[in-house]
Structure 1
Amino acid sequence: MGRRVTLTTTERSIDARAHAILARLPRHGPAAWLTEFVAFGLKQAWACVFGGAMLAVIFAAHLAYPDDAVLARNDFLTLTAVAIQIAMVAGRLETLRELRVVILFHVVGTVMEVFKTHVGSWTYEPDGVLRIGAVPLFSGFMYAAVGSYMVRVNRLFDLRFARYPKRWVTAVLAAAIYVNFFTNHYVYDIRWLLVAIVALVFGRCVMQFRILRFRWRMPLLLAFLLVAFFIWLAENIATWSNAWLYPSQVGGWHLVSPAKLASWFLLMIISVVLVTWISPPQPPDDPPPAAEPDAAVVGATRPEGPSGP
């Protein structure tokens, strides 16, 4: 048997309610599939609660934050981000162990932000005092939001991996990707070579995840691409809200270039490696065929399985 998924106390309570409802629903047919689909969306929203809250605050501040406020907007965003993080831990939505990875994401992201703003890759409004150089401190929380999503989705969907590459190989690849984010301003940008190496290293890996009653399969590369796409969508909302701007957007906002998807795709590798620091990838437990019901997860308590929102 594999590891038992560790739920927070809040998630255990929600999980029990979800499975009490599930026990009264049909196990087969359209109703069962609809239940899985709705549960998938709810779990994804649950996993994104940090990033969703941050994006909502950024959007609302763009629309309604007063220009003459005593507290600068960037400082307001930073203090709100800190409050969200405290609420996540205090509300048992995130464990202290997971918080370590989230903080590491914050540090890794802030270091890159300081460099990227210095070389002019993007800019922030110059207001506020809670900043490092040209970088307001709320920016690090945007990377932390990705980290929060990664550690939570691993728990909520009970992720398992078939043919996962050696972790030392992924660590070396992640280090090369991170270094290239800096060196591409001075030497040849090898991001597309790195994308090809990622495809080679992770190409055989299949991710298995449980929603409620069924365990599903997906190529891990496809999962990376889907997450990168939704981060790109969130980035468009953030730049429209003037949280930061790329040089081409200073004269007027437009969609972030789809080429940025490659950067976010590569960021997934760094994210995965950081998450495996506290949660090593687990192999499947004699996995059943995709979408085959597993009677062990029907009730409110079960030997293993993810939490449900």
Structure 2
Amino acid sequence: MPDTSTIAVDAMGGDGGLAVMLAGVARAQGRHQGMRFLLVGDQDRIADELKNHPALATHAEIVHAPEIVGASDKPSQAMRRAKTTSMGVAIALVKQGRAGAAVSAGNTGALMAMAKLALRTLPGIDRPALAAPLPTLGSNDVVMLDLGANTECDAQNLIQFAVMGAAYARVILDLESPRVALLNIGSEDQKGTDEIRDAAAVLRAQTHLPLAFTGFVEGDKLARGDHDVIVCDGFAGNIALKSVEGTARFVGDLLKRAFSSSVRSKIGFLISRPATELLRDHLDPNNHNGAVFLGLGGIVVKSHGSANELGVATAIGNAAKMVRADLTHRIAEDLGNFDAKVDMGQA
């Protein structure tokens, strides 16, 4: 059984480097009392940086790994060095049961390849999927998957993603029966590819899983808050994710430009500052950070490479919730209760 009180952290990954990663771990440790951390990377550099976080030092252990996976490294190259890189060693600690989850802000492709090789996929899962929470106008975030792990998916894959996404939403969003939708080019039943329509038929017919299938959702309604889980292939999902992130930056930059255009605008900014600060906080990706590879025999969380210490802490916090809720077991249980291999022609 994995150690559910311990998180392995690839301390060397991410654009901000070691200082940002450890500051994020320290913030997470303050939020989640009782959690312990295995800090993986160059032991001398970690020990030196850890002096800046004495409270964390009493809840952490350094695990030495001499090499780092670079941002431009190909997954095949990184896999050959898995046993000596901070990313590979962090994943190995999950496999060994020394940690309940691994968190890394490093190379996504390498992380996916290493995790899949080391942890394997769960029985009944053909492909793992990358899932993450995105901000909405509703009372909670929306979980979206796949965000880039699988560019082409058949109906079977989409059905499995829906089951896994619903289990994830129950843990992260504290929902009993998440509303699940398939991303499509229209809301009508006849719209979309055969794969999407076939997956919808199966999900619409199921009645015994803790999820509510709500049909199709179009791209302009991703952030409305009408759904809790949105399922798609990784090609569409990655484009949608980048579009959402780009729109958030666009809105922020547009507001900044508008409020600095004149003296009157600056006065208006001071008056509306509480509202704009709320908007900025809601759209800040660091408050929604932490994508997870669902469908593996262990929990691996991908922090955004550009995340600050708040973002790193958010990703670690999500990993802790997944470990404590035994997400991997929940997914396996749901898959066991739901025959995803329904004959499409009889759905």
Common fold by TM > 0.5: no
TM-score normalized by structure 1? 0.25
Q: Please state which structure has a larger fraction of its residues in strand.
A: 2
TM-score normalized by structure 2? 0.23
Q: Please state which structure has a larger fraction of its residues in helix.
A: 1
- Considering Cα pairs closer than 8 Å and 6+ residues apart, tell me whether 1 or 2 has the greater RCO: 1
